[in-house]
Amino acid sequence: MCGILAVLGCIDNSQAKRSRIIELSRRLRHRGPDWSGLHCYQDCYLAHQRLAIIDPTSGDQPLYNEDKTIIVTVNGEIYNHEELRDKLKDSHTFRTGSDCEVIAHLYEEYGEDFVDMLDGMFSFVLLDTRDKSFIAARDAIGITPLYMGWGLDGSVWFASEMKALSDDCERFMSFLPGHIYSSKTGDLRRWYNPVWYSEQIPSAPYDPLVLRNAFEKAVDKRLMTDVPFGVLLSGGLDSSLVAAVASRHMAKVEGAAKWGSKLKTFCIGLKGSPDLKAAREVAKYLDTEHYEFHFTVQEGLDALEEVIYHIETYDVTTIRASTPMFLMSRKIKSLGVKMVLSGEGSDEIFGGYLYFHKAPNKEEFHQELCRKIKALHLYDCLRANKSTSAWGLEARVPFLDKEFINVAMSIDPGWKMVRPDQGRIEKWILRYAFDDEEKPYLPKHILYRQKEQFSDGVGYSWIDGLKDHANEQVTDAMLANANFVYPENTPSTKEAYYYRTIFEKFFPKNAARSTVPGGPSVACSTAKAVEWDAAWSNNLDPSGRAALGVHVASYNDSSEGKVATTLETSPQKLEVEKTAVTV
């Protein structure tokens, strides 16, 4: 990850203004500790803090076209940059080996309509000095963060994190994923327009081999790196699949072998936590170079203020999960690793959250998936990116690969629904796609391990410790008057109130609090979940504990036995079995 800051159309272009831009850009240096760059053209500034992953020696930013009339500052990775270079090589000259340089040349060749050609995660700002126009764009799902703001002098601002513009902009907002802003029209438009985005119910048949191949390609392309890398391994289904596929592909990827013959994997938790145990088992099975980190509840509590400053939200679930990830990222960076693969996005694509057990039909199931994916930039993407970038570590998320999403979201959602009568638990179609009898990716009990919330998986006493600490900091009277102190997005629990007070200390403007999703932060008790089962409305806790009844029942009812029996004893081949189960 890198940090970008662009200020366009300032009235003041003095040396003092330049110094201020440098000072603000420096707030993003944790995202890019390797080098700093600044380009000034009249009243426009493009600043960059670089984390060197591809072409560390010559890829410093901002980047340019041949005559430097087009300047671009980019945060992200363009996985198909070599393919795009081949298209441009006859008419364009490249100065660096950076994957991001293609953006300047693509714009020169195709104008503003090139963004959909990019395969990767990215946020960028591009200045065309020929007519002094500019564009800004964000990747399809919002894996990389981007904020947009407006100054009192009429200037337009863009930054990777809110902290770089919140003091100088009167109004700012989270830049929408899959959108592009053009100064020529003065508005945002959506460039990402897949069929699933309209929430139209898909009807493609489920082919496990097609799904498996799409995911393997998504992992494969994310092994593009010139620096040491690894995988965040919790021992759950998603991270274990990422590690299993990466381990298989590692020897095939040019340049990967120089970082060692074994894949590095990392896990964190309180001593004795479920994740540590499961990750240890997966790492042993895959024969990875495994690193296990421990933290205490007190160490997590001590880090809370710094975590909230970096992740820029007061959402309860996000803070709970970000804290151990933040602590782990520091440990990983100390080992010299600069890039990791992570498993975010699977639950949103396949309905892995336990309240999906209650979905009444495939139409509502699919519509809820679409809503969850569209909100990822406010939750899991934000957490994964900012928790790791706080220590100059880049997180790549293969489940959010654009082509993989298109494949997975085109499948008839009836295949994704929980069907205990047919031995299907949540995310069954993903599990089944990797259930290879001849060359197993994972042990059966790991492949069919039920979901554990990350904030619970690191140790069940972690959330209890957070709640106890918040109860000591927030009185009953404070919570009773919360609607007067925080009339917008009023916290409904002492834990939420405590996080809000920390957030407001760093980001006191109304624009800042408005970047966090509204209403009580209860991820598992969304309006849709309550609609599916009124019992959800009685639980204000936003973690997977709100689904405890579902979780326990799924482990203990006869469906688990049916799943285990069917999958472990069936003599049929995968190609035959895939036609035997009805939607």
Residues 533 and 471 in one domain: yes
Residues 212 and 189 in one domain: no
CA dist 522 and 507 (Å) reads 22
Q: Which residues have a Cβ under 8 Å from the Cβ of 493 and sit 6 or more positions away?
A: 316, 470, 479, 540, 541
Number of domains in the chain: 2
Please indicate, yes or no, if residue 100 is contained in any of the structural domains.
yes
Please indicate, yes or no, if residue 72 is contained in any of the structural domains.
yes
| 327 in a labelled binding site | no
- The DSSP call for residue 544 is G
Residues 305 and 450 in one domain: yes
Bridge partners of 70, per DSSP, are 128
Give pLDDT, residue 535: 75
Residues 189 and 336 in one domain: no
- C-alpha pair distances (Å), 563 with each of 10, 549, 567: 63, 19, 6
Please indicate, yes or no, if residue 346 is contained in any of the structural domains.
yes
Bridge partners of 73, per DSSP, are 125
Supply 38's token pair: 């600044």
Q: Do the strands 264-269 and 229-232 form a parallel or antiparallel pair, or are they unpaired? A: parallel
CA dist 72 and 104 (Å) reads 6
Please, how many CA atoms are within 13 Å of residue 306, restricted to the half-sphere of its CB? Answer: 17
Residues 268 and 137 in one domain: no
Is 2 in the active site? yes
CATH number, domain of 248, equals: 3.40.50.620
CATH number, domain of 162, equals: 3.60.20.10
CA dist 366 and 353 (Å) reads 13
Give pLDDT, residue 1: 77
Please indicate, yes or no, if residue 568 is contained in any of the structural domains.
no
**Element counts in the chain: helices (H) and strands (E):** 24, 17
CA dist 188 and 42 (Å) reads 25
pLDDT per residue as tens, the chain (583 positions): 799 999 999 998 899 999 999 999 999 999 999 999 999 999 999 999 999 999 888 889 999 999 999 999 999 999 999 999 999 999 999 999 999 999 999 999 999 999 999 999 999 999 999 999 999 999 999 999 999 999 999 999 999 999 999 999 999 999 999 999 999 999 999 999 999 988 889 999 999 999 999 999 999 999 999 999 999 999 999 999 999 999 998 867 655 556 677 999 999 999 999 899 999 999 999 999 999 999 999 999 999 999 999 999 999 999 999 999 999 999 999 999 999 999 999 999 999 998 999 999 999 999 999 999 999 999 999 999 999 999 999 999 999 999 999 999 999 999 999 999 898 999 999 999 999 999 999 999 899 987 665 556 787 899 999 999 999 999 999 999 999 999 999 999 999 999 999 999 999 999 999 999 875 444 444 567 778 887 766 665 665 555 545 554 433 433 333 333 333 333 333 443 444 344 5
Residues 458 and 490 in one domain: yes
- C-alpha pair distances (Å), 523 with each of 200, 256, 281, 531, 536: 24, 38, 30, 14, 11
End-to-end Cα spacing for the chain:
41
- C-alpha pair distances (Å), 331 with each of 46, 392, 456: 32, 11, 20
CA dist 232 and 265 (Å) reads 6
Please indicate, yes or no, if residue 560 is contained in any of the structural domains.
no
Supply 391's token pair: 């220590």
Please indicate, yes or no, if residue 429 is contained in any of the structural domains.
yes
Please indicate, yes or no, if residue 572 is contained in any of the structural domains.
no
Last residue of a domain, one of 167, 193, 219: 193
| 232 in a labelled binding site | yes
Please indicate, yes or no, if residue 155 is contained in any of the structural domains.
yes
Q: How many other CB atoms are found less than 10 A from the CB of residue 534?
A: 9
Residues present in the chain in total: 583
| 123, 160 Cβ separation under 8 angstroms | yes
Give pLDDT, residue 581: 45
Residues 166 and 248 in one domain: no
| 343 in a labelled binding site | yes
| 28 in a labelled binding site | no
Give pLDDT, residue 259: 63
CA dist 350 and 356 (Å) reads 10
CA dist 217 and 245 (Å) reads 9
Nearest Cα to Cα of residue 241 among 419, 404, 458: 404
| 32, 1 Cβ separation under 8 angstroms | yes
Residues 257 and 119 in one domain: no
Q: What is the 3-state secondary structure (H, E, C) of 250-294?
A: HHHCCCHHHHCCCCEEEEEECCCCHHHHHHHHHHHHHCCEEEEEE
Residues 183 and 259 in one domain: no
Q: Do the strands 133-138 and 120-128 form a parallel or antiparallel pair, or are they unpaired? A: antiparallel
CA dist 250 and 287 (Å) reads 13
Residues 184 and 35 in one domain: yes
Alpha carbon 12 to its chain's center: 37
Nearest Cα to Cα of residue 458 among 263, 289, 320, 315: 320
| 268 in a labelled binding site | yes
Give pLDDT, residue 224: 93
Domain that holds residue 407: 208-543
Residues 297 and 166 in one domain: no
- CA angle at residue 51 from 49 to 52, to 5 degrees? 125
Residues 189 and 215 in one domain: no
Give pLDDT, residue 101: 96
